[in-house]
Amino acid sequence: MLLDLAKNRHTLTLVAALLLLPLGACGGAGDDHADHGHMEGDMDHAEEVADDGAPRVYFVGLENHATIPSLINLQFAAENFIIEPVGDGAINEGAGHYHIAIDGECLEPGIVIPTADPWIHFGDGSDSIEIELSPGEHYLCLQIGDGEHRTLDEPGLSQYIMVHVEEEAATE
Ligand SMILES: [Cu+2]
């Protein structure tokens, strides 16, 4: 494995944050905006990337090498791809769910994404998470897995970026 667990201590914080999320917000209610959010305008990304019909996922509003605060709400978006909750293991073509790895690399196609650090599965079909990162550089992978959590053979179905996390102002 490529993962260095020593670098991932902060993911404990992350997991704690995940457990505190109100899961009720993540159900089927979000279907309406999944494919249309980028049409509405304030997202730079929509203007940069022509829609060529290829499936694509990305961190919303987060460019490679962006500087971000320690506490951030990561949001994901998909184009030409259906985000669905994990069912009974059925694999639906052109559909899947998000995963992120914090300080872990994206995986090659055909690999079942582990249910362990540094990976978080969004098996309920949700598309955001609030995380807290330590100051410094971090690497974020957003990657789709199918109904069996297996990575897909489409280059656009993962995004790997580096972010700079600001030093926090001292507060008590
Ligand atoms: Cu999964």
How confident is the model over 96-150, as pLDDT tens digits? 999 999 999 999 999 999 999 999 999 999 999 999 999 999 999 999 999 999 9
Give residue 168 CA to ligand 1 midpoint distance, Å.
32
* Residues in contact with 157: Cβ distance below 8 Å, sequence separation at least 6, in sequence order: 55, 56, 57, 81, 96, 143, 144, 151
- For the chain, which domains are there? 5-165 (2.60.40.10)
Ion ligand 1 residue ranges (Cβ < 5 Å):
121, 145, 149
Residue, of 89 and 10, whose pLDDT is higher = 89
Q: Phi-psi category of 157—alpha, beta or left, where left has phi over 0 and alpha has psi -120 to 50? A: alpha
Global pTM value: 0.71
**How many Å lie between the centroid of ligand 1 and the Cα of residue 72?**
22
At residue 171 the predicted structure's pLDDT band, cuts being 50, 70 and 90, is: low
Please give the residue that has the higher pLDDT: either 11 or 93. 93
- Going from the Cα of 170 to the center of ligand 1, the distance in angstroms, rounded, reads 37
* Average pLDDT of span 15-29: 43
